[in-house]
């Protein structure tokens, strides 16, 4: 089968289309014919391996010291079940599924084997109203955004601010917060604001013109996906028992946020467990009801994976970059 192999840590040109052995499902695994996948910010980070010093070593131990051990990137996909192991009970050949791979990665290929009930990641039946290209963009950003918003128990009438709202996590967080009945402020660069209004943001802020951490306004939940936002100041912009959710924090940001929240009822969280099968099933609900739309910017064929990475890390990406696997 064809797969995109990441031969070393570094620039997109290191990604090569190669023939690799087609995987065979073990007893508890599902073999999926991948029809579409995505290139996320996290795929680009794993390829570049430019993580902050405090996380660099643990990540390098997990993903390969000298060269990538998980040589096929890709964290989400949609496709068809081609075969199942003998202990698999929830899927059969021909099912249309979408999936988050979790830590094993591997979606940038024609086929992938995933466990029916993995420790990280999940497989579920695809939303019936989406094509493979749209469904592929839901599991990772949608699953992570859902996990974070659930931590803060976002509910009707609350005020939620999403910082970095125009990307993969952000576009799902904005829409999910609206589904939960919140008033949503979306912060990103000027070219992304029209799209953010279109997906339901009640108010938009261009971060180049206005610093939301500097004003007097407060929110019940601030969901931040941007590395380097002053975290102590974000805590001060929370209501009395508000939540700061940081998807992409540096070590000092965590320390400063916790320090700023000490002695108060404000809470800070910076991890989310990866989405579960139930999360994917939950996301299908608003998707099928027309209340949650994956935002797709560009589509690339598998052969143009390096180009897809270049675009995904260009800063222009609106929502998600999809890779179609013919």
What does the alpha-carbon distance between residue 260 and residue 278 come to, in Å, rounded to a whole number?
Answer: 35
Minimal distance, residue 193 CB to ligand NAP, in Å: 10
Minimal distance, residue 46 CB to ligand NAP, in Å: 8
Enumerate residues 6+ apart whose C-beta is below 8 A from 187.
Answer: 161, 162, 163, 164, 165, 204, 205, 207, 212
Return the number of the residue (180 or 245) whose C-beta is nearest ligand NAP.
Answer: 245
Return the number of the residue (25 or 319) whose C-beta is nearest ligand NAP.
Answer: 319
Residues that bind ligand NAP (CB under 6 A): 40-42, 45, 144, 163-164, 166-170, 187-189, 192, 207, 225-226, 247-248, 270-272, 315, 317
- Cα–Cα distances (Å) from 262 to 104, 234, 268, 280, in that order, read 37, 14, 10, 35
Return the number of the residue (79 or 141) whose C-beta is nearest ligand NAP.
Answer: 141
Return the number of the residue (124 or 246) whose C-beta is nearest ligand NAP.
Answer: 246
Return the number of the residue (44 or 84) whose C-beta is nearest ligand NAP.
Answer: 44
Displacement of CA 146 from its chain's centroid (Å): 10
Minimal distance, residue 3 CB to ligand NAP, in Å: 22
SS3 153: coil
What does the alpha-carbon distance between residue 25 and residue 87 come to, in Å, rounded to a whole number?
Answer: 11
Return the number of the residue (46 or 130) whose C-beta is nearest ligand NAP.
Answer: 46
What does the alpha-carbon distance between residue 93 and residue 80 come to, in Å, rounded to a whole number?
Answer: 8
What does the alpha-carbon distance between residue 123 and residue 85 come to, in Å, rounded to a whole number?
Answer: 14
Decide: 45 and 127 in contact? Cβ < 8 Å: no
CA nearest 133: which of 303, 323, 326? 323
Q: Are strands 159-163 and 219-224 parallel, antiparallel or unpaired?
A: parallel
Sign, CA torsion 321/168/63/48? positive
Minimal distance, residue 314 CB to ligand NAP, in Å: 8
Minimal distance, residue 111 CB to ligand NAP, in Å: 24
Minimal distance, residue 189 CB to ligand NAP, in Å: 4
Minimal distance, residue 218 CB to ligand NAP, in Å: 18
DSSP 206: E
Return the number of the residue (124 or 161) whose C-beta is nearest ligand NAP.
Answer: 161
Minimal distance, residue 268 CB to ligand NAP, in Å: 12
Could you please report the per-residue DSSP string of 244-255? EEESS--HHHHH
Residue nearest to ligand NAP (CB): 167
Return the number of the residue (49 or 239) whose C-beta is nearest ligand NAP.
Answer: 49
């Amino acid at each position: 089968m064809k797969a995109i192999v990441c031969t070393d840590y570094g620039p997109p040109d290191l990604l090569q289309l190669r023939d690799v052995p087609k995987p065979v499902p073990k007893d508890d695994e599902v073999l999926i014919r991948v029809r579409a996948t995505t290139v996320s910010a996290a795929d680009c980070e794993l390829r570049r391996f430019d993580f902050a010093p405090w996380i660099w070593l643990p990540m390098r131990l997990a993903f390969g010291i000298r060269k990538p051990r998980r040589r096929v990137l890709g964290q989400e996909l949609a496709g068809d079940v081609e075969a199942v192991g003998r202990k698999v009970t929830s899927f059969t050949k021909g099912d249309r599924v979408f999936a988050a791979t979790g830590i094993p990665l591997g979606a940038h290929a024609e086929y992938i084997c995933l466990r029916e009930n993995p420790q990280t990641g999940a497989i579920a039946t695809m939303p019936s109203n989406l094509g493979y290209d749209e469904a592929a963009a839901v599991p990772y950003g949608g699953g992570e955004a859902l996990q974070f918003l659930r931590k803060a128990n976002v509910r009707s009438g609350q005020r939620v601010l999403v910082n970095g709202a125009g990307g993969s996590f952000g576009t799902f967080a904005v829409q999910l917060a609206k589904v939960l009945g919140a008033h949503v402020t979306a912060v990103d660069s000027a070219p992304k604001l029209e799209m953010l209004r279109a997906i339901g943001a009640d108010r938009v802020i261009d971060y180049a013109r206005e610093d939301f951490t500097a004003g007097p306004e407060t929110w019940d939940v601030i969901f931040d996906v941007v590395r380097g936002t002053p975290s102590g100041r974000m805590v001060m912009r929370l209501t009395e028992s508000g939540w700061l959710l940081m998807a992409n924090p540096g070590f000092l940001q965590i320390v400063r946020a916790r320090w700023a929240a000490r002695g108060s009822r404000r809470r800070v969280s910076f991890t989310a467990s990866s989405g579960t099968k139930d999360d994917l099933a939950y996301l299908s609900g608003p998707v099928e009801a027309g209340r949650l739309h994956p935002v797709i910017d560009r589509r690339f064929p598998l052969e143009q994976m390096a180009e897809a990475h270049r675009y995904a890390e260009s800063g222009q990406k609106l929502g998600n970059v999809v890779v179609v696997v013919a």
